[in-house]
Amino acid sequence: MSDKNGSIQQPGTQDLDLVCGTPEEEEALLEADATYMKQLAAVKQQLERVQQQRSDLPPEVRVGVYICRCGGNISDVVDVERVAEVVSLIPGVVTAKVNTFCCSDPGQQTITSDILEQNLDRVVVASCSPSLHEQTFRGAVSRANLNPYLYEQVNIREQGSWAHRHDPEGATQLAIHMISAAIGKLRYSIPLDQIKLPNHRKALVIGGGIGGMKAAVDMAGRGLLVMLVEKSDRLGGRLNERGRVYPSEKMASELVTELIQKVRANKNIEVLLNSNVTSVNGFIGNFRTVITGPFGPAGATESTDALVGAIVMATGYRPYVPRDGEFLYHQDPCVLTTPEFIQFLQSLDARTKDMVYQGRTIRSLAFLHCVGSRQLDGVHEPQSDGTLNTYCSRVCCSTILQQALAVRERFPKVRVYDFHRDIRTYGRGEEDYYINASKAGVVFFRFNGEDPIKVERNGHAGGKKAAPLTVTVKDALTWGEELEVPVDMVVLGVGMMPSHIEDLVESIKLPTGEDHFLQEVHPKLRPVEVAVNGVLLAGTAQGPMNIQETLNAAGAAAVKAASMFAKDVVELNPFVAVVDASRCTGNAICVTQCDYEGALKMVEVEVDGRKVQRAEVNAGLCSGCGACVPVCPSRAIDVDGWRLDQYDAMVDGLVADSAHSQCGVEELVHLG
């Protein structure tokens, strides 16, 4: 083997050669290195200049740092005692304490009494995600008369101990750095006041099903003004398609009528039928909405503006629609979905002795559970958008058993078969349907999700003896025996999917989950609220629910609106853009970058007798996204609470000792 210089290469030196390369390559490398070093030096110089510009010495602060064990959620991984020890050495830190649950009352008391007794002017809690407990600790800090925005929460649980469970040392280092960054940020924090804006005490309820009506009735019954917008020509939603409902066995129409009467009787509720919410702007307490529809009987399309303080999403669900051919749906006339079957049963004359559908006498009937629900990757065919409905739709089991029982009671000669994976009659009074269906002779088959059932045609049109359809199941109740069950009709227990509200999701910027339903902030802490403040969830827009659960969710949404409207003003976090008018040159680049209509605009002001343009922020409309900050050539715009000098200080805190594997306390200390 020879290289291009003709010298023979010694075995074993290849690796070395590869690194060193030829003299030319080496030279090139050296050159590149020199360029790199020059660049690095330039960056360093630039950094130094920036730091000098900032201020010679960081402001004096008195910081209290509280590190949470979270019972063990954090301390099982992160060495919290060492974190406390290290951060206590950072200049300005007066106290660094470890607590088992900082969010508990004794934990909060420690913070408040330290603020008062040790004269703290900044507080850091290193615990869970701020989405969980930032409000909690801001409240604690406020109780000690410290401005709540002189508080920083550091997430060392979701981003620390949970994410880096297998790297305790790394998680510990990470915690130290993140706290050091937060302390850096706090050095440049200034007291801020919440933005107070008028609170328009009127709620817009989108959707006139039972969830929407219940929320409207509850709020109006409490004296609040409500606008109820329904896209169809009648109130009642999906329940209009139902017969008797479980577990009360009352007619759905009775329930719907009761709510409609309450809606109509309350002068605080304005009902708009045939209407859609076509535009939503603004924020909690001040949503500017446009509602479009033919409001009058004339039918001409018209629009109206409404200024509302809260929006209740009661947009409900749509039943899963099986693909053509899925269990012979749309291929055999007697393969129906549960809503279709309920309609069919209701349409039958009360005196009818035989169950006849599309000319076929139904002597045997199969109910299939979990159609479009509990779908498994690799087993079920994804929908056209590639998604699977992995969730349980919650209501189908009881609905099916209620219908199965109804068939057995009304047509005792019809054989009823039930094909399920699990029977989930979990609710109050629902288990009775299972017990009674068994007693009434419904025959149960059970299959595993991995072995789906098949529905096939027999090839003959259903004579006296042979049924036209066959359901094939690997039955878990008979130890996996493959059974063929001939039936005249198959009812598909279809699950729930969210209504088509893509436009609203887009315009209100609503978060959705993997299941495409609207996503609450937290299932236990803020179960009917979404990340957009002032928008509430009432019912199946959030996920499958039965009637009672929908009514309760609607009540829970109503109570949040009522609490919100108990105040004269809405209070918003002050993290919005602020303009330094002395630096603003009026070039309006920031306005072009702003995504929030009306949040930034140019106004004419007089400077030294000259009329000039300057940027102005509407705090209510500004989301604090910061898109305007980097585009300003004169650094005239910044976001309060997240100012550039705070970012600089955070970065300094984060990189303090990135070159060393062990935490360099000296370097952190040097930072201060």
Partner 1 sequence: MTLATDPSKPYRPDALVVGGGIAGMQSALDLADQGLKVMLVERGPSIGGHMIALAKVFPTLDCASCITAPKMSASSHHDNIKILVNTEVQAIQTINGVHHVKLLKKATYVNFDKCIGCRLCEYACDAEYPDPLEEGLGAKRAIGVAFTNAIPQKAVLDPELCATCGTCARVCPTDAIEFDQQPETVIVETDAVVVASGFALNSLNVKPQYNAMRSKNIISGLTMERLLAPHGPYGRVLRPSDGKIPSSVAFVQCAGSRDASIGVPYCSRVCCMYAIKQAMLLSGALPIADITIYYMDIRAFGKGYEEFYQNAKAMGVNFVRGKVARIDPVDDGDLLLHVESTEDAENFLQQHRHDLVVLAQGMLPEWDMSGTTPVRRAPDGFVATPMLTSPTATTAPGIFVAGVAAGPKDIVDTIAEAGAAAMQVSQYLYQKRSIAVDQTQAAVLVG
Footprint on residues 2-61 left by partner 1 (CB under 8 A): none
Which segment (10-18, 26-34, 221-229, 646-654) binds partner 1 by CB under 8 A?
221-229
Footprint on residues 148-167 left by partner 1 (CB under 8 A): none
Footprint on residues 296-355 left by partner 1 (CB under 8 A): none
Q: Indicate the SS3 state at residue 637.
A: strand
In the 8-state DSSP scheme, what is residue 2? B
C-beta of 220 vs 632, nearer to partner 1: 220
Q: Which two tokens stand for residue 121?
A: 């002017």
Residue 306, beta-bridge partner list: 289
Residue 622 interacting with partner 1 (CB under 8 A): no
Query: Which helix (H) or strand (E) element contains residue 96?
Result: strand 93-99
Residue 66 interacting with partner 1 (CB under 8 A): no
Shortest Å, Cβ 38 to partner 1: 51
Alpha carbon distance 247, 435 (integer Å): 13
Footprint on residues 626-665 left by partner 1 (CB under 8 A): none
Footprint on residues 566-605 left by partner 1 (CB under 8 A): 566
Residue 542 interacting with partner 1 (CB under 8 A): yes
Q: How many CB atoms lie within 10 A of CB 450?
A: 9
Footprint on residues 362-421 left by partner 1 (CB under 8 A): 373-374, 376, 390-392, 394
C-beta of 255 vs 485, nearer to partner 1: 255
Footprint on residues 113-142 left by partner 1 (CB under 8 A): 128, 132-133, 136, 139
Binding-site size for partner 1 (CB under 8 A) equals 88
Angle at the Cα of 344 (from 456 to 211), degrees rounded to 5? 110
Shortest Å, Cβ 522 to partner 1: 8
Alpha carbon distance 230, 237 (integer Å): 9
Sign of CA dihedral 121, 127, 129, 135: negative
Which segment (113-121, 234-242, 257-265, 646-654) binds partner 1 by CB under 8 A?
257-265
Q: Which two tokens stand for residue 90?
A: 């950072």
Rounded to the nearest 5°, which phi and psi values hold at 119?
60, 40
Among 59, 352, 426, 502, binds partner 1 (CB under 8 A): 426
Shortest Å, Cβ 366 to partner 1: 19
Shortest Å, Cβ 40 to partner 1: 44
Among 61, 98, 115, 210, binds partner 1 (CB under 8 A): 210
C-beta of 41 vs 477, nearer to partner 1: 477
Residue 427 interacting with partner 1 (CB under 8 A): yes
Residue 523 interacting with partner 1 (CB under 8 A): yes
Alpha carbon distance 352, 214 (integer Å): 37
Among 82, 101, 232, 593, binds partner 1 (CB under 8 A): 101
Alpha carbon distance 616, 591 (integer Å): 9
Residue 480 interacting with partner 1 (CB under 8 A): yes
Cβ(357)–Cβ(489) below 8 Å: yes
Q: How many CB atoms lie within 10 A of CB 135?
A: 14
Among 452, 543, 620, 641, binds partner 1 (CB under 8 A): 543
Shortest Å, Cβ 298 to partner 1: 33
C-beta of 311 vs 423, nearer to partner 1: 423
Residue 626, beta-bridge partner list: none
Residue 223 interacting with partner 1 (CB under 8 A): yes
Report in angstroms the alpha-carbon separations of 117 from 121, 216, 316.
11, 49, 53
Only one residue has tokens 């055999």, namely 332
Shortest Å, Cβ 425 to partner 1: 7
Shortest Å, Cβ 297 to partner 1: 29
Cβ(388)–Cβ(380) below 8 Å: yes
Rounded to the nearest 5°, which phi and psi values hold at 517?
-75, 160
Among 51, 88, 95, 104, binds partner 1 (CB under 8 A): 104
C-beta of 431 vs 456, nearer to partner 1: 431
Alpha carbon distance 534, 516 (integer Å): 20
Report in angstroms the alpha-carbon separations of 441 from 93, 285, 346.
74, 56, 22
Residue 531 interacting with partner 1 (CB under 8 A): no
Residue 438 interacting with partner 1 (CB under 8 A): no
Cβ(258)–Cβ(303) below 8 Å: no
